[in-house]
């Protein structure tokens, strides 16, 4: 079954803790992306990666970090430096200019 998987679906963390969100794809796409979705604000780009071992900051990268050691995987770490981490996080991968999205992880920081 091809697609993009994100785990877990729901994640709760205490303030001050780092947390890593998983994103895996078996579509053989080179490019992968992380977005944050907040009510009334649409989706905003956090980080993206065009190829393995390379990634660039998006529009709201502060307080986040990523790695791209494998083509299939693009984990996102939400660090304690992120001031407002509670949000819905979406991962995407792209074939050409078209992006396809995973089911998302809802992170709540208590």
Binding site for another protein (CB under 8 A): 31, 33, 35, 40-45, 48, 50, 56, 58, 90, 94, 97-104
Give the shortest CB-15-to-another protein separation in angstroms.
27
User: To which residue do tokens 């790695």 refer?
Assistant: 67
Q: Specify the residue, 45 or 52, whose C-beta has the smaller distance to another protein.
A: 45
Q: Specify the residue, 19 or 33, whose C-beta has the smaller distance to another protein.
A: 33
First to last CA, the chain: 35
User: Alpha-carbon distance 101 to 54, whole Å?
Assistant: 20
User: To which residue do tokens 């900051």 refer?
Assistant: 57
- What are the structure tokens assigned to 98, written together? 């078209």
Q: Specify the residue, 62 or 103, whose C-beta has the smaller distance to another protein.
A: 103
């Amino acid at each position: 079954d091809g697609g993009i998987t994100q785990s877990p679906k729901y994640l709760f963390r205490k303030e001050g803790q780092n947390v890593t969100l998983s994103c895996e794809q078996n579509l053989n796409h080179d490019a992968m992306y992380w977005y944050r979705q907040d009510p009334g604000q649409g989706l905003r780009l956090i980080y993206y990666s065009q190829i393995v071992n390379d990634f660039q900051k998006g529009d709201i990268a502060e307080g986040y970090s990523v790695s791209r050691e494998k083509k299939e995987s693009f984990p996102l770490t939400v660090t304690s430096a992120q001031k407002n981490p509670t949000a819905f996080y979406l991962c995407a991968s792209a074939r050409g200019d078209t992006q396809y999205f995973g089911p998302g992880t809802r992170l709540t920081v208590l």
